[in-house]
């Protein structure tokens, strides 16, 4: 009998301040489409609650959302941060650090790549328009159809990301069309990680665990879950993650 793979998804609080925990349905659907079972994790203050959830997981999935509080990466709020959810920061960073320590597979999207980088010791640009004078509009997909391609990213040919997206067996770089919804990005890449994708303006679009020790940790800055119904390469991002969750 095939094992049911439980994929932990920390929730978020709604931007309107209502006392609720939320996760975007598209993330759940994308995981379900490749055979994983989403397990939504509340932002509990009780360590024993989080321990119980963590003990059930085969993998950790970090969704998109608002900004991470600047003090978590040794910075001061510049005034550009929006929708900071510190209970979410605390829970996600705690679970991500534990997963990285235990070699549990981790996959992060948009805010999730930023959480992954901060949890491992990296830093962020708080606001791309402020920090990049000639930056692309990295919120250009807002309000557009799910399959909207805002710009191309250059994916390093020798990276795991490149192989997942269909460049297996070749080491040349590839170009991939992506959507974009963010105003923050990876700045200093965390120790042990490597950049695997860049936007044309130099903004980091992907990172992955860079050591050949069998660990799986990968993040992308775009939103592949919104493109899953239309793009087989985006489906493979979720399929490879769930496959890694089942190989432990």
Q: How far is CA 39 from the centre of its chain?
A: 16
Catalytic annotation, residues: 110, 223, 225
Rounded Cα distance between 150 and 50, Å, is 37
Which residue is listed with tokens 């105003």? 183
Rounded Cα distance between 76 and 72, Å, is 9
Q: What is the number of domains present in the chain? A: 1
Which residue is listed with tokens 């959507």? 179
Rounded Cα distance between 246 and 223, Å, is 23
| Mean per-residue pLDDT, 217-237 | 96
Q: How many CA atoms lie within 13 A of 71 on its CB side?
A: 4
Share of the chain above pLDDT 90, in %: 89
Residue 244 belongs to what H/E stretch?
Answer: helix 232-245
Torsion region of 236: left, alpha or beta (phi above 0 gives left; psi -120 to 50 gives alpha): alpha
Q: Which of 99, 122, 91, 104 is nearest to 207 (CA)?
A: 122
Torsion region of 74: left, alpha or beta (phi above 0 gives left; psi -120 to 50 gives alpha): left
Q: What is the CATH number of the domain that holds 130?
A: 3.40.50.880
Give the structural domain span for 71: 5-245
The C-alpha angle with vertex 52 and arms to 63 and 32, in degrees rounded to 5, equals 40
Q: Is the pLDDT of residue 230 over 60?
A: yes
Q: What is the DSSP letter of 220?
A: E
Read off the pLDDT of residues 127-144 as tens digits, 9 standing for 90 and up: 999 988 788 999 999 999
Weakest mean pLDDT among 15-24, 90-99, 162-171: 162-171
Read off the pLDDT of residues 143-198 as tens digits, 9 standing for 90 and up: 999 889 999 999 999 999 999 999 866 678 999 999 999 999 999 999 999 999 99
């Amino acid at each position: 009998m095939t094992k049911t793979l439980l994929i932990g998804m920390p929730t978020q609080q709604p931007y309107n301040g209502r006392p609720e925990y939320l996760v975007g349905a598209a993330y759940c659907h994308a995981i379900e489409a490749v055979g994983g079972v989403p397990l939504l994790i509340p932002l509990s203050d009780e360590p024993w609650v989080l321990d119980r959830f963590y003990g059930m997981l085969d993998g950790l999935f970090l969704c998109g959302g608002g900004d991470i509080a600047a003090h978590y990466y040794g910075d001061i709020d510049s005034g550009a941060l929006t929708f900071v959810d510190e209970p979410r920061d605390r829970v996600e960073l705690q679970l991500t650090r534990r997963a990285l320590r235990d070699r549990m597979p981790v996959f992060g999207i948009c805010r999730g790549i930023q959480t992954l980088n901060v949890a491992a010791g990296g830093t962020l640009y708080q606001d791309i328009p402020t920090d990049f004078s000639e930056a692309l509009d990295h919120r250009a997909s807002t309000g557009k159809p799910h399959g909207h391609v805002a710009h191309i990213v250059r994916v390093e040919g020798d990276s795991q990301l490149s192989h997942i997206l269909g460049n297996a067996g070749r080491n040349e770089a590839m170009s991939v069309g992506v959507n974009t919804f963010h105003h923050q990005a990876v700045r200093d890449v965390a120790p042990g990680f490597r950049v695997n994708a860049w936007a044309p303006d130099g903004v980091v679009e992907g990172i992955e665990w860079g050591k050949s020790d069998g660990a799986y940790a990968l993040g992308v800055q775009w939103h592949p879950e919104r493109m899953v119904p239309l793009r087989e390469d985006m489906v493979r991002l979720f399929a490879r993650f769930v496959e890694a969750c089942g190989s432990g």
